[in-house]
Structures are given as structure tokens and as C-alpha cells.
Amino acid sequence: MTNPRWAFERAVLASSLPAPARHILLTLAVVADWPSGVTPAEHTPSLTRLCTITGLGRSTVARELNRSEEQGWVDRMRPAIERARREKDRTRYRLHAPSASPTAGLVPDRDQLASATQGLASPTAGPELVPQWDGASPTAGHKPDRSQTNQTAARASAAEAIVIEATGATADEARAVIALVEENDKPRSLGGFLRRLAADGDLTTRLDKIRAVRQRQDVSAVLTAARQGPPCVHGEAGGASNHPTSGEPICALCRVALRRNSA
């Protein structure tokens, strides 16, 4: 049986959609549960988050989502206004390839998707979905090509978004956290593993470790540069320069003299 996510991604890559639309759809495909193709409530990105993940402007994301919906690539399930305000509920997405797409027949049609996600068409009814990240590579056994590169970039962007949303990290810090996870844990499914760490609060712990290491590195670099300066009155190179953490002179004798004069 054809992997529905793989089939959808192939259809997107073979389409005539502009590059921004393809980037957005591939990003949503990483977040969505399969085979339903529906983004789970707890991980559905807001419009602002989609802009951050894709690097596209807000007007571009909004325009391409409208275009994709008109052409049958995505259905947007918008919550009632009152529920959106009260529960901070977000618009969710159901992905599917149009019947006229180059890979028609390889992706569940709308009737099949509606059956698989019965109760989700109405934003006020039905149970919430639990994310099912299968970890299977949709391009296993195929030679690397541009399609694989695009899919890899989309998965990397989605992984960064998980870390950023869970911890408030910068994009650079999120990449460092992901690199640490991949090196130490070697997860089979990166997205699923990151979500579990986020739920347990472990992503924040790992971010704190990275920040602590970087702070030590920054302090060391500042001290090294300060040591290249002229000696203080006590003969210590750069001794009169302030320590980046304490704000007091690096030279111990200079610190004593400063404190004595301040007393």
C-alpha cells in the first residue's frame, strides 16, 4: 500500500504550484498525522508560526494558503470565533492531493479522509487527535534528488518549530538542541521524539545546558581578548578590564583596591 504522506509530497513536488505554496504544504505534511493528513490540535501551527517555520512573509503565507485551498490541496477547519477566543483554538488543516494531480489515486480522496477523521470537520465537535508520528522515511530506497532535499528541509523546519514553540529558543538555539538530541539519542523519529521531550519538559533542560555552555564560551572569549590588553598597575595583562560576569577588574589586587575605595 502506498504511503499516503509520500504520495501527497510527490504530488506537491510534481505540481505547478509556486515554490512558496509547495514549501508551505510540505511543512504542513511534516506536522500532519497520517494517513488522515490532518494536523493535530496540539501541534497545528498558527499563521505566525508558519511564517517563522517557512521564512515567508505573512501576506505570502496567507495568499498561498488561499490558492492551495482553492485548488484542492488543503481544507482549513476554522474554529468558531468564540471558541478561538476562549480556548485559543487554531485553524487546522486537512491535506490531500486534487483528483487531477500527477499522482491521483495514490492519496486518499476527500471521502476517505472524512471517514478517517470523522467528527473533525466541525470545529466544535469530535474528539481531539493524538499525534502519530510514524518515523518512516517517505524516500527510503530512492536516490537523493531535489525532491528529497525539499522534504529534508521541510522536516528540519518543522523540528525547529517544535523546539521553538516548546522552549522559546531562537532558531540558532533550536538547531543546537536538535543537533544535541540527534548526537546523544539518535532517535528513529526526530519529530516524535522532540514532541515527547517537549511534553516531559526535557527540551527546556537541554536548552539550558546549551545556553550554559555558550555562556562559558562567551566569557572565555571575552577574557582571552582582555588578556591581550595593557597590564594593570599590578603588572597583570588586561588586569584593569572588567570581568564579563562580575563587572569587577580581572586582577584580584585591582578588585581589592576597587572595593576598598568604594567602602
pLDDT reported for residue 114:
45
pLDDT reported for residue 140:
46
pLDDT reported for residue 139:
44
Question: How many other C-beta atoms lie within 10 A of the C-beta of residue 1?
Answer: 4
pLDDT reported for residue 102:
52
pLDDT reported for residue 78:
80
CATH topology of domain 1-127: Arc Repressor Mutant, subunit A (1.10.10)
pLDDT reported for residue 101:
57
The span from the CA of 111 to the CA of 93, in Å, is: 16
Whole-model pTM: value is 0.40
Domain boundaries, the chain: 1-127, 158-226, 228-263
pLDDT reported for residue 132:
39
pLDDT reported for residue 149:
63
What is the pLDDT tens value at each position of the chain, 263 positions in all? 568 888 899 999 998 899 999 999 999 999 899 888 999 888 888 888 889 888 999 999 999 999 998 889 999 888 776 665 666 677 889 999 886 555 444 444 444 444 444 444 333 333 333 333 344 444 444 444 565 566 677 777 888 888 888 888 888 888 889 988 888 888 888 888 888 888 888 888 889 888 888 888 888 888 888 888 899 998 999 888 888 888 889 899 998 988 888 87
| Angle, helix 47-54 to helix 146-167, in steps of 10 degrees | 130
pLDDT reported for residue 46:
86
Please list, in sequence order, all residues whose beta carbon lies within 8 angstroms of the beta carbon of residue 180, skipping any fewer than 6 positions away: 206, 209, 210
**Sign of the torsion angle spanned by Cα atoms 66, 70, 73, 75:** positive
Grid coordinates of 209: 545546558
